[in-house]
Amino acid sequence: MTDSTTPLTAGAPQPVQQRGLALIRDPLLNKGTAFTENERAALGLRGLVPPPVVSMDDQVTRIMQNVHRQHSDLDRYTYLETLHDRNETLYYRVLLSHINELTPIIYTPVVGLACSQFSQIYQRSRGMYFSADAVEHFAEMANNWPEDDVEVIVVTDGSRILGLGDLGANGMGIPIGKLSLYVVGAGLHPRGTLPILLDMGTNNQALRDDPLYLGRRIPRLTGPAYDTVVEAFMRAIRARWPKALVQFEDFSNDQAFQLLERYRRQLLCFNDDIQGTGAVTLAGILSALRITGQTLSEQRIVFLGAGAAARGIADTIVAGMMAESGISLDAARRQIWTLDSQGLVTLDRLDSLSEHKRPFAQNSAPLPNLLAVVEAVQPTVLIGVSGQAGSFSEAVIREMHRHCERPILFPLSNPTSKSECTAEQAYEWTNGAALFASGSPFPPVTRGGHLLVPGQCNNMYIFPGVGQGVVSCQASKVTDAMFYVAARTLAELVGEDSLAVGRLYPDLTLIREISVKIAVAVCELAFAEGLAGIERPANLEAFIRARMFIPEYQSYVAA
């Protein structure tokens, strides 16, 4: 097996066990039409591929021509996943070469549509499925996976896929997509990644009635039955891969917080919806404040939505306020107002509130809706994590702008169809003054001859670099401080030219350099706090770069 820390550009020919069709059918080894004449002769490939030896660049050109021939984004997603299944090196080369165009296809927003139809477009198994009716076999199942050096596992139970809700086993598209971003963004080796779906059933009746649905057709497990399955799963993967980083993804609010709290002290894990979203949002706000010239602790922040994402963002902002100005935890929390389906979260509702909402309950009279809160609070920052399309109405945004010269507007709900407002609306209703970032991408807007470039508050800026840092230094745990330093690092990488057009995040084409800087910052923190499991390398950045997978073909025989 290829060492998961070895780049594919190693100089000496790499030994392979497979020959002939078996080699072509291994997506991690297949080169397709790029096998050299010597490789074709030595590895039994003559006659099994077309005669010309094709360069990787020409292969990329052919792939992109076929991408552009597809009739819809879902067709493009399916075509790229077909490439993923047959030639991973080429797949990642294509993604890196066309990252701005293709990232929205392989992840948000198109992955939401792909998940909604996952059972219909399913072609080939990728990753693992741990079903609640097979708990006694979990250890055996983990041992069925052929790779010993798994570094990162992304797991979901499909209960809250983006803004689409319970998609059950169809949620497998999320771990697959996230791990593709780990490879593209931070150079994790594909062999060291493992997507997993915990099949707990589904409360989506339409899926249970669908004859093509690939999950268990039972109501979703809850309570002790659910906890038993998760515990068995965690034991099995900890025994098989004791050093692997586990990323919880798209779990419903009732599970996301308790799973993170239960396991974060037992093994290497984090929740990207809580911690990753918090870090990338804080980074965008810090960038916006470079434009306004204000401090974080001066901000009045309103959230529409009070779930996992809201809590994660709010906690990260609070940590930032405390670090910046030294204000108390309680004082920082009083700068944040949250709304749920009942209106403003207030102290007089404390007995009926979920645990994760209580720290941000305000000592305020009840306020029934977002407009009423904006009128009363006069916020400088408005963050949407509600999944309610259009909920940042013209009346709300104009009222906010009436009290705030440069409103910071972050409608973060995914996919695009769930966004609280569009970039064009935000700019129109604030006369171009809004500082805007969204969960799914929006195109640039020209207003009065001035180009305005919306930011995408994309977790891809954060979690690949954090993950690379954690596994590179073999950290013993993932801390909130790691996400805070990641946020500050990301904000510092936004150039003045980007800020001049309102862009709050760096260009995504720089993602590997961004991830290296974040990984270094995370490692430095781990070494400083005694959490690293290795001795500090003399050149930490060079050490991390040397670990990164580069999507270029390796030689299997001497030239």
Q: What are phi and psi of 104, to 5 degrees?
A: -65, -20
Written in H, E and C, the secondary structure of 452-471 is: ECCEECCHHHCHHHHHHHHH
Query: What's the rounded Cα separation, in Å, for the pair 116 and 107?
Result: 13
Sort strands 193-199 and 343-344 into parallel, antiparallel or unpaired.
Answer: unpaired
User: What H or E segment, with its residue span, contains residue 170?
Assistant: none
Q: Which of 77, 91, 178, 461 is catalytic?
A: 178
Choose among 73, 94, 72: nearest CA to 83. Answer: 94
Q: Output DSSP code: residue 115.
A: H
Inter-residue contact 309 to 412 (CB < 8 Å): yes
Question: 50: cis peptide before it, omega within 30°?
Answer: no
Q: Is 178 a catalytic residue?
A: yes
Inter-residue contact 547 to 498 (CB < 8 Å): no
Written as six digits, the tokens of 204 are 């989506």
Instruction: Give alpha helix (H) positions in 137-195.
Output: 138-144, 173-186
Query: What's the rounded Cα separation, in Å, for the pair 488 and 507?
Result: 17
DSSP state string for 214-261: -S--SPPP-HHHHHHHHHHHHHHHHHH-TT-EEEE-S--HHHHHHHHH
Inter-residue contact 476 to 530 (CB < 8 Å): no
The number of angstroms, rounded, from the C-alpha of 136 to the middle of its chain's C-alpha atoms is 31
Written as six digits, the tokens of 323 are 């670090």
Q: Output DSSP code: residue 362.
A: B
Residue found by looking up tokens 């030219």 in the block: 497
Q: Is 357 a catalytic residue?
A: no
Helices 88-97 + 173-186 axis angle, to 10: 70
Q: Which of 91, 107, 182, 461 is catalytic?
A: 107
Q: Output DSSP code: residue 291.
A: H
Which residues are identified as catalytic?
Answer: 107, 178
